[in-house]
Amino acid sequence: MAQTTTARRKLDWRGLALASGLFILLGFLPAVATALDLERRLFFAVHGICAQSHNLIAGGVQFPLCARDSGIYLGLMVTLGVMAVLGRMRAGRLPPLPISLTLIGLIGAMGIDGLNSTVAELGLAPAYPPRDDLRLITGLGFGAALAVGLLLVANRTLRPIDLLATEQAPIGSWRELGIVFGGLGVVVLAIAANQAVLAWPLVLLSVIGVTGVMTFAVALPISAIAGLSGRVRHARQLALPGIAGFLVALLLLAVLARWKISLEVSGFLPPPLIPE
């Protein structure tokens, strides 16, 4: 009993130390970001994959991705986090039909809002005035659905059948979907708070999200070519495909950014809205 109590105390102190360190890090993040000129650097890092014409600004921080893309990758990361906490990372079946239809509806909502925005940008009469908050919210919903889809693709492609929870869905109930929506709501509130200390973690999370998706898109076929389909029992087996995918993702980001900048300099595209 004494050993158990001592172990619990150690875990409590470790958790407290980790939480304190994270809190301090977040407090210093705006100052560190300013010193490193991170706002401008991240803007150009993802310059080639996003129009960057409707970027969010919160706490004086301009997000590097547009409102819709920020929503997509923040929604993706938050939903993955929720599924990890719920122990759904080995899920192998589709969500129940009502949940699946709701996720499809979220995809459709972003499509409708995107089409409405495109109509307005073409100088035609939109069904309703395009707004950045709607771009963000519909992007968040799409990101949640994307997270479910990517997790299922990864699990069904890479995990052996005995490690695949075939009876488990990434989101299996309205309660779990509600938790996801709660997480997405926290993102909206954090942006609405208009504080740099809250904006910067979201900026970094969105960039991690877009880089992660690109890495996944490259690493998955590499894993299949390497004969890892249905054979991944340990994360270390994905080390080489993951590193290769990450390096290719960075190369693509650099090439696309350089190409877009050349088009802007040549006058084929309007000049970028570079953060000041």
What is the predicted pLDDT for the residue at 194?
96
What is the predicted pLDDT for the residue at 245?
97
DSSP 8-class letter at 161: G
Please name every residue paired with 58 in a beta bridge, in sequence order, or none if there are none: 61
Handedness of CA 109, 81, 172, 211 (dihedral sign): positive
The closest of 82, 245, 100, 257 to 158, measured between CA atoms, is: 245
- Neighbouring C-beta atoms of residue 202, cutoff 10 Å: 21
Q: State the pairing for strand pair 55-58/61-66.
A: antiparallel
Phi-psi region of 275 (alpha: psi -120 to 50; beta: other; left: phi over 0): beta
pTM, 2 dp:
0.91
Phi, psi of 63, deg, nearest 5: -65, 145
**Residues contacting residue 62 through CB under 8 Å, at least 6 positions apart:** 39, 43, 55, 56, 273, 275
Tokens representing 146?
């994307």
What is the predicted pLDDT for the residue at 60?
94
What is the predicted pLDDT for the residue at 3?
54
pLDDT tens string for the chain (276 positions)? 555 555 555 556 776 777 677 777 777 888 989 899 999 999 999 999 988 889 999 999 999 999 999 999 999 999 999 999 999 999 999 999 999 999 999 999 999 999 999 999 999 999 999 999 999 999 999 999 999 999 999 999 999 999 999 999 999 999 999 999 999 999 999 999 999 999 999 999 999 999 999 999 999 999 999 999 999 999 999 999 999 999 999 999 999 999 999 999 999 888 887 886
Q: How many helices (H) and strands (E) does the chain have?
A: 8, 2
